[in-house]
Structures are given as structure tokens and as C-alpha cells.
Structure 1
């Protein structure tokens, strides 16, 4: 780590900042001059998070940083907001001839990941108007989180009535939301304002992409065979009738095949769902095939800039062209699944994970209802579930 002294400043928010510097806004003050920064966002990462570090050779600079855990904060890269959330940890440390300050935090959605959901009646859904947005808003609004629904198709499952299902005691709001999102076949992730986004896999593209020898410092590509199979079978195992388990071979969906897998490699999928769920079993098979194909060719790369050619930060769930001829990848338009913006003594870098769109499609799921009958207290009987 470099021991070059960095200036930490506290000042009013202004424009015209260094686009390659991180600015931490807390209580009307803006702190900058960090020696190491890391900010990570992704479509499968909840919530977004950051770590920043200042190392000083002589005491004085770090004392200017008036930060306490729990404070609201905004993180910007240059003038661009990337995280709206809270400080989790403030870690000052000293050693011989050195004083360090490390600060970490996460987006506003951290509370729906950490805390338990308190749901009256322990059940959700089943009524007109109980679509995904309505139910999810009810789960997150108490935590100061807003829902942004970008699924505009009225016929999409996310915008139809969610069937009634039970909530398990101790579940977090995020665990419940994850189940709803898989039922509705959409993605959930945090935006730069701390909102919870409901979206399908991205269709908008960045203004430029990643080109070997131009802006790519390093890259690797995974071409995998071991997690792919030649044929996929689905067997329905419902929870309401034991007889269905005995008839699994009769109730299975039509198998799907992967023509690229030439050896005999069968895969049996147990589709746990309610009665007459062959449609979900078929969706599960198609998802299993597409996801395994997509994830068998992931690319990780390091770019020499946080931004595309038009000055926009690389953004999760956006498409970007990837041209890596040395890795046998010729101009593929893939989804940015995760991006880490970092800056240290080696310079400014962005680490990205990209895969085909199919790799990010949510797993189909059925929301199971559990009927609970509470017996009279004076009968001495316990509650029954079925």
C-alpha cells in the first residue's frame, strides 16, 4: 500500500468532481481522498455494499472524519450516485507510524435482509390486488424502502394475483420476496437510491462494451461441461397426496434435451409443487437447461475504467458487448451480472461478471399454501397442520 498522504476534505456537495474518486456524503458533509475504495452492485447481490480505507502516516487527517455506525449515507463515484444506505462499521486502528480508518456500509435494503418479517396471520396473497408489487411493498415499506416495478406487461405473472402462501416464523422479508420473485419469474435487486427493483432480465445496452487490447486489462472465460446434461426429466412430487409420489412416472413433464451434450448424461429434477403442476414442471426443465448452458460460459474481466465511452458507470442488468478473441469469444452481447468499482495504489479498475441472459432467469417456483387449524384450548389438542 502506498504511504502517500491523501487529503480528506469535508465540504458541501458540489459538481465537477473527479469522476474516478469516491465521495461519501453524511449529514451534509462530503468526505473524499480515500486511498482504497470498493463498491459492488449486482443483480444477484442484495444489498449493494462498499468498503473505503484511509491510511495516514501522521495523525490529524483521520480525526476529520466524523462518522458513526448507523448514519445514513450516499456514496457517489464522481457525481454519480451508486449507493444510498447506511454506515455499518467505522474501524479506526493505529500501529507504529501509521493510522488507518476503514468504513463499510450497505444499501438501504440491508434491513430487509437482516431483520425478521412480522406478518399478521402468517400468510400472504390470495386476494384481488395482491400482486407482487403490492405484497413486496407491504414487506419493505416499514424499513423505509420503496419498490420500483419495471415490469410493465399487465399479463406478466408479477402483475397478477399472487396465490395465498404461508410465511415461516423468523423468515426475513428478503427470503419471502425471493420466493415471490421466483414464482413471478422476475429479478429483484437494489438500485442506486436504495429502492427495491422488480425487473425482468435486462434488454437495455451500455453505450460501449469490453474489447480485448482496448479497455480490458485481464479476463478469463469458463467453458464448462461438468454441470450440463444431455436430457432433463421432471418428476412432480406434490405435498398434498402421497399417491402422487407413486405416480411420478405418469405425471412427469416431457423431457428436454441439450443437443451440445453428446454423451448420455441424464438429470432428474424433482418439481416440488401442488397438484396439477405440469406447467411449472415444464418451465423448471426449460429453466434448468437454459441456466446451465448460460452459466457454463461465464466471463470475468477487469476493465481499466468505471465507465463506458459515454461516461456512464457500468451497471448491473445492462447488456454489454464483449469481444475477447484470445478467449474465443466473438462480440457476444451479454448481461452484466455484477460489477465492482475499485481504486487502490494500482489505479482505477472495474471487475465484472458477464453471462448470457439465460443465466439470470429466475428459477420457476410454486408458492405453497399450508392450512392451519387451531383446536379449542380447552380440548387439550395441539394445533394441526396439513
Structure 2
């Protein structure tokens, strides 16, 4: 076995010898995916049963590159096709976390009060047999959260993650990981003229604006009401890279403060800038100089004057390990500034109880 051999472990058996491979993992997706294919000349033998792979949709599968496990999940599809000269058998699948994308969130309990982010996510994932790994410090912030009827677990997660600026993605064991952006560092840099085979970037500035204004309101209470709380709260940031007048105004939902409006405006500016600089690189091979696989959520130094990166540290958002008969073993990486992948900040809902003569009306 070489460090580039791809093995599928299914039902106690190992399958190798794939002619085409496509395995992807990323920090802005919660399920890894794989697609492998084997092609044989037909008829090579008179026994057509030899061409069949004993793999069934729904089978548990482990995917390895060399001795490195890169995915644990389920077989989704087993396409077959043939023509006059050959027959091809493929296996497609995704991580265990695929059920969080496809399935509706459990409605019992549908309401969470005074629970941390990790506790809520663990409760949502548990019915699907998906473990949750939190690599972030346990939050002292207690969250109130309600499931929207019919939404998927992934949709619920997307609403939750912005509360604490946390990412959710899967790992090689099929667990759901809660983490922040760029927690690891690549050993090998990406350098034009050395290991970069090709690159591409849309450099699309149509979603960037010269000034971004976020406006909201703060609701009053029994003791705090009137014009002060009902008036607009506004924060504006400028993007110097946009030379002409292009304003954007965003309404902040929920109870707004000057700090939350400013944070949202700064996020919008940085996120849009990061998205416009996102670049896809392809390098030869699947491993870095130290023998480790290229991985998502790594910080990598990029020297590419064509794209405007001068030893710039960027984040690997997605990695695809590929094999085909044209380019051989290659790794395609989608890379951008950290801000491009930060979740949108959201306001936690706060619930108040009515004041009585026996209490002070505090929040809980």
C-alpha cells in the first residue's frame, strides 16, 4: 500500500484499485463526501458477476488514504454504466453528518432555555447517532433557542452558530466538530512557480459597498421606555477599496445596541471582502512536505503575486483529493481570508418575566 492508495472499508471488506477519486472536506459544510469509480474492459471474463461490487446503499463505510482515515459515513449511491467496450462501477457517499443536512430537526424538546451552544447541538445530533466534539471553550453564555417546525438540523445549526461565532463541520470519524476558523497550520506554503499547478479566482466585487450602515432599535421596558429606546441606533463602516458611491443599509433584527450594530457592520465589510478574494488552488499530490494530508481549516502561507498574495496567511476552507487519468493525484483547495468563513453574528434572544411585588423583575 502506498500513501496515495484509497481504500473503502464496507461490511468487513476492503476495496481498492479505483481509477477515479474525488473526496472533499470543508469548514463551510457539515458533511464530507466521496465519489470513487473503477472501470474495467468488457467483457474481460465470461462471469459478469465478477464486475459487481458487494456494496449496498446505506452501508456504513470508512474511507482511507494510505493509513489515514479521512471519512466515516454511509453509501448513498452505487451507479453502474457501460458501453460496447467497458463497464464502470462507482460508489458515492457522505459523512455520518449527512442526516443532519437531510432530516428534520427533532421537535422534542423544541424549546431550549439556559443551555450552552454545545449542549443544544449535542441534543439535536444525538437521535442520528452523531457525536459532537467541541474544540471551543465552554461558553458561559446561556442560550434560549426554539426549533422552527419542519426545519432541518443544519438549518437550526446555521441559526445557532452565529450566536458565538463558531463553525460546525465534520471530522474523519463522522463526528460534528464545533470550532473556530483556522485552528491548525499547514507545514507547506503555496508558492507560484513551485507547487502551484493552477489557480482561479472570480474576484467579484459586485457584493462590496463603499459604506455599510447597520440600523436597529432597542425595545423599552417598564423602567426604560420612550424616545431613547425607540429611536434608531446606527453604525457605519467604509470599504476604501470601493471607489465609487455604493451604500448598503442593513436592518438589525432583535434588540440592537450601538455595539451590536457596529459589530454587524464590521462583519459585513470584512466578510464581503474575504469572499471577493477567495481563490482555488491545485497542487500535485495529496500530501504536504512532511507527509501529512492537506486538510481543511489549516492556515497556509501563500506567495502568489498574480493573485496579489505576498506571503499572506490564508485559511483552507475546502480540500478535495482527486485522482483521474489526466492529472493523476492532485489536491484542489479553496482558500481565502479568515473573515470569509466567519458565521454571521446574531443576537441571542432574551426572555423576560413579568415583574411582581415579590421580585425585582430580573432576566432569567
TM-score normalised by length of structure 1: 0.83
Residues 237, 270 of structure 1: 8 Å contact kept: no
Distance in 2, Cα, partners of 1:140 & 1:261: 42
Within the alignment, does 1:251 sit opposite 2:239 as a pair?
A: no
Deviations 1:319-370 (A, max 9, x none): 1111123333221110001111110102111111110111111101124579
The alignment partner of 2:106 has SS state of coil
Give the structure 1 partner of residue 92 of structure 2: 104
Structure 1: gaps (5+ residues) = 1-16, 372-386
Deviations 1:191-226 (A, max 9, x none): 111111111111421111211122111112343433
Pair 1:239–1:61, CA change in 2 (3 A):
farther
Distance in 1, Cα, partners of 2:42 & 2:244: 65
Distance in 2, Cα, partners of 1:248 & 1:239: 6
Kindly tell me the number of residue pairs found equivalent between the two proteins: 343
TM-score normalised by length of structure 2: 0.87
Within the alignment, does 1:71 sit opposite 2:59 as a pair?
A: yes
Distance in 2, Cα, partners of 1:115 & 1:228: 35
Map 1:312-327 → 2, pairs under 5 A: 312-327=292-307
Residues 57, 75 of structure 2: 8 Å contact kept: yes
Deviations 1:28-66 (A, max 9, x none): 211000111100111112311011111111355853621
Question: Paired residue for 1:117, among 105, 120, 127?
Answer: 105
Map 1:1-386 → 2, pairs under 5 A: 17-59=1-43, 63=51, 65-120=53-108, 122-124=110-112, 126-127=113-114, 130-152=115-137, 154=138, 159-236=139-216, 250-273=231-254, 275-346=255-326, 347-368=328-349
Shift of 1:135: 0.7
Structure 2: gaps (5+ residues) = 353-364
Query: Whose strand fraction is larger, Structure 1's or Structure 2's?
Result: 2
CA RMSD of aligned residues (A): 2.5
